[in-house]
Structures are given as structure tokens and as C-alpha cells.
Amino acid sequence: MAEVDVNNLGCEHYDRNCALISPCCKKQYTCRVCHDDHELDHEMDRKLVSRVVCLQCKVEQDVTKLCESCGCEFGKYYCEVCRLFDNKDRQQFHCQQCGLCRVGGRENFFHCEKCDLCLSIGLKDNHKCVEKVSHDVCPVCMEDLHTSRAQMTIPPCGHILHRQCFQQCLRKGHYACPTCNQSMVDMDNVWKDMDEEMKDVDMPEEYRDLDVVITCRDCHKESTTKFHVLGLKCQLCGSYNTAR
């Protein structure tokens, strides 16, 4: 695909007044997302960008906040580290520990050292840490999580997936974490409904008193329960998210 038309200011990802010259293929793209969407055989390392083109006067120059030729501001928000320019106020801030810019306001986030990720302040001392959990791909769409621009969801198990992917799983009736199979939402009402369903199903006599050992994917403990064709109930937490 051809390079992005630099006669048009900004792109669908960022509102800015300059285009980046990719350090890898020397082509002009409004942002690294546009580059990566079009150049399928490689990705842009935005931190290595050293040259930009002003979209007002078309002068190529070193990376800076203001055009050295016409004086226009390339972006109201400018991060020298990430080579990020943006005229839209997204409450951007650069996180030194993450090594990139985040959105949403620094005061609304904290950096969890163990997860190695900026999380909502409401999750401070209120989430399960998983070592460097963001340095992986989303288990649903397989896209990188740490550098993702999409919102993310952290279920009780502590694994991360894109919020859109999380909602997609729920719509399709998949309530278990794709990574570890622990329930991602409160399933108490579902388990109560299963209790009632099981009362209405008579088991064949040869299975009626059959005990089986199960492992619960929610409480992570073993217990012995009565075999039933509809499900195997954890005798410790009541979950049916179990396996023999």
C-alpha cells in the first residue's frame, strides 16, 4: 500500500501537524500505527524516529515540538521519548516505568511494579498481581498488550485482555479466562440455577452413588463430589467450573 498522504493533517489515530519518517523504511507516515497497518513485514520503533515532516509547510527536519520553518506546533501534547504528538487532549502522560505514554490522567493511575503496568487507582491494593502480565499478547486477539492503545480488563485471576475482547467472550457465553480458565465474572446465580436443574434430573442407578475427585478452576482446590451428567460441583466453593 502507498504511503499515507501527508497533505492531509493528522490521521484516524492522532490529530497532529507532522508526519514521522520511519527509521526502518524511510517512508512518511502520520503515526507508527499507520505505518504498522501498512508495512506488514516490519514494525516501526517510534523511539528511533529522528526526522519529521511539517504538514503545514512540508519541510523535513529533526524531531522537535515546533516547526523550525513555519513555527507551527506539531502537537499540543509532545513526548520527546515516545516521539508522540497529539492535539487532542486525552490526558496523556509518560510513564517512565512502562516506557511509554498512557492516557487518562496521571492522577488516575498508579504503576504496579510486579505487573509492570499502569492500573486504575481503584485497583491499588485491590488486584491480583501477575509478574509482568502485560508483556504478553491478548489471549483472544493475540495483539500485544503492553503497547496497546485499547482499554483493558483485569478479571479476578489477574490476567489481562482487551475490554472489547472480554465483552466479546461474555456475549458468546465464554465466562472463563482464556489463559487459566478461572471464572471472569461472578457466577453465583448461574451455579444456583445449576443446583436447581440438577434436582430435576434423575441419574441412572449405576451412577447415583459414584464419587469423583475434581479440581476447581475457581478456588484451585480438590474435592470429592457426586458424579452428575450436568456438572461436577466443587464442594468447597460451590463452583461448577471444575475438571476431573
Question: Would you say residue 57 has pLDDT above 70?
Answer: yes
The CATH number of domain 93-171, selected from 2.60.40, 3.30.450, 3.30.40, 3.40.50:
3.30.40
Q: Alpha-carbon distance 215 to 99, whole Å? A: 40
Helix (H) or strand (E) segment spanning residue 112? strand 109-112
Q: Which CA distances in Å does 237 have to 5, 212, 234, 240, 242?
A: 59, 16, 6, 9, 11
Average pLDDT taken over every residue of the chain: 93
Map out the domains of the chain as residue ranges: 18-86, 93-171, 188-243
For the domain 188-243, what is the CATH code? 2.20.28.10
Residue 8 — pLDDT band, cuts 50, 70, 90? low
pLDDT tens for each residue of 78-123:
999 999 999 999 999 999 999 999 999 999 999 999 999 999 999 9
Report yes or no: 4 and 28 within 8 Å, Cβ to Cβ.
yes
Residue 37 cell numbers, joined: 497497518
Global pTM value: 0.79
pLDDT tens for each residue of 221-231:
999 999 999 99
pLDDT tens for each residue of 142-193:
999 998 888 899 999 999 999 999 999 999 999 999 999 999 999 999 999 9
Report yes or no: 214 and 244 within 8 Å, Cβ to Cβ.
yes
Q: Which residue has the cell 490526558?
A: 91
